[in-house]
Each structure stands twice: as structure tokens, then as C-alpha cells.
A and B are shown apart, each in its own frame.
Chain A
Amino acid sequence: MRTTTVVIGAGQAGLAMSWWLARRSIDHVVLERGEVANSWKTERWDSLRLLTPNWQSRLPGYGYQGKDPDGFRTMPETIGFIEEYAQAITAPVRAHTRVTSVRNRGEGYEVATDQGTWQCETVVLATGACNTPVIPSVVEAVPAAIKTLTPLQYRKPDQLEDGGVLVVGASASGVQIADEIQRSGRPVTLAVGEHVRVPRVYRGRDIKWWMDASGVLDQRYDEVDDIVRARNVPSLQLAGYPDRRTIDLNSLTAIGVKLVGRLAGVNAEGKAQFSGSLRNVCALADLKMNRLLDTIDEWARKNGRDGEVAAPERFAFTEVEESPPLLLDFTRGRIKTIIWATGFRPDYSWLDVPVLDHKGFIRHDGGVAQSPGLYLMGLPFLRRRKSSLIDGVGDDARDLSAHLASYLRDRALSRPELIAARG
């Protein structure tokens, strides 16, 4: 089979790219291993809601039409939204088509799937940033009696045995999972490394509204001081609760969650060892939050918004007990379950194009991979701070589809026979 562009993945990123390719009259297919919005359907816990408000799910040619712009979609609503988008734009999705390899072939690429092989000139990888949970190597030293789960396997507290739970990681997934497990009556210990603290609502407006309006989310990858660091910033400590309450380490401490430092190891006696750096990672997060709030306040003042919003405020610093525990005995039966909310990474095991760096990530410049005609979508800070949000894929798809179109045009001009071949 032959087409001009193969898009891999029918989530928001692949579909937004499909909309732009169609608009630029570029022949393409969208290959999907499962169904549209597959990760949303199969790899999310039950209570999860989107972390961005409804109004902020803007896809090319499509926006929120409902009556609750400030609400947060449940997973079924998110899936419905993306399915409706796929239908509305009549995206050429080939569902249940698992890509088994992508390789250079002649002037273009060959995309092998379990439903046949595609020849194409360009490929867009829209397969997501969260395919594989990152689990620290200390997992090997965890006693077999303790059950360990990743956020991709976790569904709800009732799935867990009664008893203590260690949640490792305090970013968006870790804090939300810790909150609902603690409320289910299972005492939670939360191992906290570097994290990003933000209030859900600031001066009466959603934090995402401020970040959107002030241009923080539009900040480009070639404008920041240190893009490597920006791309590796942990996800914001946020939850999309219907009551818009803020989740942070103080709110977790208030319901009884025990905070400890980063999980650093498990010693020979089966005791978990936590880093003594808890106080500093909390100080870093508090100071960073205040810098963001300073930026917001300055923007509001300069843009004459002070009159329409509440007064500036600063939040209590994160409370850390005088001497947080450094050890937790895994052999005494107090901890029944460990949940690794320690991040995710993309899976490129099927990619046979030599573009991976020494850490297994694709070398690219704002989504233009270091292999002509190969593009990336939907990764953290790919082109903008919002690149990994549903709201961010539209602008990236516009830019990258323009690059892709000019790549095809330049090639066609230099190789007239390709135009004939494309027919």
C-alpha cells in the first residue's frame, strides 16, 4: 500500500496532524494499534479527569461546545470528545493496525503493520509520551510479598489489598493516586522527589487560564534557556476535581498522608531508604511556584487585568516535619502495595530509523526528527510548553505540517519523477 504520509497514533496529536494534512491536501492515513483515543481508553485509572478545563481542549477546527467550560472531563467524556473529533474531521483512521516497524526505504519510509505494509514519503510519530512506565531499579530489592503496580495498571483503591501503600513520586499521577487511596482507608506514605507545585485556582481563575492568557503555555522551545531541563520538568501537581480544590503536599498531609524523601534504595535488611532531601525539594517547589505567581501578577498588572480578578495571594509553604523518616521496614507487613508514579517514557522499540540518542530518545529540532521526512508530535515541550496538552497539538501540527509540506515540495522540485510516482 502507498500513501504520502503515515501518521502513527489516533489520539489528539495524530488527529490534529490529520486535520492539517487534509487541509494541505496531503494524502495520508492514521494508523492506530487499538481504537481512537486508545491510551485514554485502556491506560488510565477510573477517577481520573483531565487536568485542563473543558474550554482548553481546543483542536484544529473543533472546540468545546458544552455548558461547563470550567469543568474537567471524565475519561469517558475525554474519549467521547476525541472520537467525535475523529468523526467530525473524517480522519482516515485505520484502527486495530499495530505498527511493527518503521524503516528508511529508498527516498522514503516503509511502515510495516500487522495489517500489511505501507510505503510513504513522510512519517509522523504521534504515539504519545507515556507508553512505558519508568520504574526505578530498586524494584528488584522489594520483597515479593509486596505487590507493585504502575499507574497504567492502577484502576481504583478497591483493587488494592487492605493495609499500607507506598506511592513513589509526587507529580500529577502520584498525588492524585495518594489522595484517593488515603481516603479509602489505606494509610499512604508518599515518597517525594522533585515536583512542581501550583494552585488549581489563583486570584479566582484557573491556573491554566493564567498560563494560557499570559503566554506561558505558548513559550517556544527555542526561547527557553535550557530546553533539556524544560522537557524533563515533572508534570504539575494538579487534579481536575469537580470542586476545583487544590491538591498539594499540604492537602495530602492534612488527610493523613505521610511524606518521606525520594526513594533512594532498599537495604540488605529489607528497609526502604529515603533521601534526606525532602526539605529542599519542597523549598525548590515553593520558590518555583512563587516565581510563576510573580510572573502572573506582573502580567495582570501590565495588561490591566487587576480590576477583574481577586487580589494576589501567596500560599503557605510546604510543611515538612522536623525529621522525616529515612527508613521504612518492608518486612513487617505494614506496606502491602507500592505504586510507581515515577514517570513514563515513549516506546520506540518498533522504530528502525537511526535517530535515537544514547538515552533512547529521538533526536529532533522542535519535532523535526534528524531523519528527513520524519516528524514527532505530542511530547513534552516539543515546540511549546503546551505541546503535550490536548490544547497544544493544534499549533504544533500546523507548524510541522507546513514543514512537511515544504519538504515534499522541495523534493518534488528536485525529483520530478517522484511526482509521477505519487500519481
Chain B
Amino acid sequence: MTTATTEKTANNGVNVDALFGAREALTKAPEAAQFKWRASCEWVKGTQSRSTVDSFYGLGAEQKHKTRFSFDSDHPEVFASEDSGATPVEIVLAGLAGCLTAGIAAVAQARDIQLHSVKATLEAGMDIRGILGADPDVRNGFDGIKVTYKIDADASPDDIKALVAQSQKRSAVYDIITNPTNVTVEVK
């Protein structure tokens, strides 16, 4: 049984050759694989704040985004706020969706699967008695996250399921959410 080499035809706009090249290079130079991701945040008013991302560190050097991105977050009116932005927990869902969907495109490219459309809906349950301090047995965070994908692609249903499964396996945000992470918050 041998692996047949065939012409790759799918184009999902992901440069997987560059990704595989990076994997090869970083295996030989693991120090260049050490990245630092950063965000800064400033309180605006009330429950509104503005986070910006601009620079990060990686490949042994300081790096800059092409543009400075900013995200306003706030609480909705049902929380007696002004609703000037998404709630922070919704931004977490957006982060998860963005990460998984990017992964699906990359894995599809690597597996030569042409995507036509990829749509995800996300829903996370939360008992807000946790954040209100109304019941010490209720956690603050989500009690679970449900992600539903609808994908139109030139592949069998099982191959599409395998794309989504592999994307979870390689997703940073999925890992951040499903596994504990040490968080250190200091005041200077």
C-alpha cells in the first residue's frame, strides 16, 4: 500500500506550504517558536472598555500587525449598561469561532478539500448567579459551549467531520478554554 501523489486542486486561500515550512524550520530552531501575544485595555466609562492589539513577539523578533485593531466591550442594557460593545464572554466565543474556522480552512487546504461555505453558530450557557455572587456553588464561567458548523465542501460527511475534529485538536483557543491556564494579575 503506497501513498499516491496527486495534483492538489483545492484553493481555500490558505498557504499551507508556508505553514508546513514553518513547522519544519521551527522543529530545528525551537526558540524561534516562542511567541508572546499581547493586548492592552483601557477603561472608557461605566462597564465599557476598549482593548487594542498592535504588536506581538515571535520568530525571535518584535512583530507588528498591519493595523492596530481595537475592540470595545460593554454589558447589555439588561445589565443596566449602555451596550456599547460586545460582552467580554461573547468576545471569547468569537475568539473560539475564529480559531476553529481558521483551522478548518487550513486543514481542508492541507487535505485538498475545496470549501464553499463554512458557517458556525455558538451558544454558551451561564448561570449569572455566579458573577452576581448570589450563590457560591455556581461558577462564574460558562457551564458549556455548543458550537454548530454547517459546511459546504467537496468532501464526504465523514471527511468534513474529520476536518472539524482535527481543527479542534490543533486549536489554541479550544485548548485555552478546555484546559486550565495559570493566570497572574498584578497591580503596578
Chain A residues at the B interface, C-beta cutoff of 8 Å: 194, 214-216, 218-219, 223-225, 261-262, 264-265, 267, 273, 275-277, 280, 283-284, 287, 290-291, 295, 299, 323, 358
Contacts and interface: CB of A to CB of B under 8 A. Distances in A.
B30 interface: yes
The main secondary structure of chain A at its interface with chain B is loop
6 contacts: A194-B169, A215-B1, A223-B2, A225-B3, A267-B180, A277-B179
Contacts of B180: 264-265, 267, 273
Contacts of B179: 262, 264-265, 273, 275-277
Across the A-B interface, give the 7 residue pairs with the lowest CB-CB distance, nearest first: A276-B178, A215-B1, A264-B179, A280-B168, A277-B178, A283-B165, A284-B165
A356 to B, nearest CB: 15
B102 interface: no
A337 to B, nearest CB: 23
Contacts of A194: 169
**Chain B: number of interface residues, binned into ranges:** 10 to 19
B64 interface: no
B30 A358 contact: yes
A287 B143 contact: no
Contacts of B161: 283, 287
B158 A287 contact: yes
B162 interface: yes
B113 to A, nearest CB: 14
Interface string B147-188: 000000000001001100110110000110111100000000
Most chain A C-beta atoms within 10 Å of own C-beta, residue among B1, B2, B143, B168: B1
Given A223-B3, A265-B180, A287 B169 contact: no
B60 interface: no
Contacts, number: 52
B107 to A, nearest CB: 12
A265 B162 CA distance: 28
Given A267-B180, A277-B178, A284-B169, A290 B1 contact: no
Given A265-B180, A287-B161, A277 B3 contact: no
Given A280-B165, A290-B158, 11 more contacts: A223-B2, A224-B3, A225-B3, A261-B178, A264-B178, A264-B180, A265-B180, A275-B178, A280-B169, A287-B158, A358-B30
Contacts of A261: 178
A219 B2 CA distance: 7
Nearest to B143: A323
Nearest to A359: B30
Contacts of A214: 1
The main secondary structure of chain B at its interface with chain A is helix
B46 interface: no
B136 interface: no
B21 interface: no
Nearest to A294: B158
B13 interface: no
Nearest to A218: B1
Contacts of A224: 3
Nearest to A284: B165
A207 B175 CA distance: 33
Contacts of A218: 1
Contacts of B2: 223
Nearest to A281: B169
Contacts of A276: 177-179
B99 to A, nearest CB: 14
A284 B166 contact: yes
Most chain B C-beta atoms within 10 Å of own C-beta, residue among A214, A283, A299: A283
A290 B162 CA distance: 11
Most chain A C-beta atoms within 10 Å of own C-beta, residue among B161, B178, B180: B178
A277 B168 contact: yes
Contacts of B144: 323
Contacts of A299: 1
B145 to A, nearest CB: 8
Nearest to B27: A228
Given A225-B3, A277-B168, A287 B178 contact: no
Nearest to A216: B1
Contacts of B165: 280, 283-284, 287
Nearest to A278: B178
A226 to B, nearest CB: 10
Interface string B117-156: 0000000000000000000000000011000000000000
Nearest to B177: A276
Contacts of A264: 178-180
A262 B30 CA distance: 26
B1 A219 contact: yes
A277 B144 CA distance: 11
A211 to B, nearest CB: 10
B126 to A, nearest CB: 14
A262 B175 CA distance: 12
Nearest to B166: A284
Most chain A C-beta atoms within 10 Å of own C-beta, residue among B158, B166, B179: B179
Interface string B3-46: 10000000000000000000000000010000000000000000
A280 B178 CA distance: 11
Contacts of B178: 261, 264, 275-277
A213 to B, nearest CB: 11
Contacts of B175: 277
